[in-house]
A = this chain, B = another copy of it.
Amino acid sequence: MGGPDAFWRTRISEVKPNHIRVRGYDLIELIGARPFGDVVFLLLSGDLPKANEGRMMDALLVAACEHSVVAPSVNAARFVASAGVPLQAAVAAGMTAIGDAHGGAVEAGADMLLEADATGKQPAEAARMVAVRHKEEGERLPGYGHVVHDPDPRGRRLLAVAAELGFAGRFVALARALEDVTPMVFGRKIAMNIDGAMAAILLEIGLDPGLGKALYVIGRAPGLVAHVFEEQSRERPYRDVGWKNVRYEGPGPRTP
Contact = CB atoms under 8 A, between A and B. Distances in A.
B96 A147 contact: no
Contacts of A156: 28
A154 B20 contact: yes
Interface in A94-152: 94-104, 147-152
Interface string A193-218: 00000000000000010110110111
A96 B80 contact: yes
Kindly name the residue among A92, A208, A237, A254 whose own CB sees the greatest number of chain B CB atoms within 10 A: A92
Top-3 shortest CB links A-B: A84-B100, A2-B247, A84-B101
B87 A22 contact: no
A8 B245 contact: yes
Give the size category of A's interface with B. 35 or more
Interface of A: 1-4, 6-37, 39-40, 43-44, 46, 48, 55, 58-59, 61-63, 65-70, 72-73, 75-77, 79-80, 82-104, 147-154, 156-158, 160-161, 164-165, 208, 210-211, 213-214, 216-219, 221-223, 225-227, 229-230, 232-234, 237-256
A27 to B, nearest CB: 7
B218 A66 contact: no
A86 B88 contact: no
A70 B39 contact: no
A170 B159 CA distance: 44
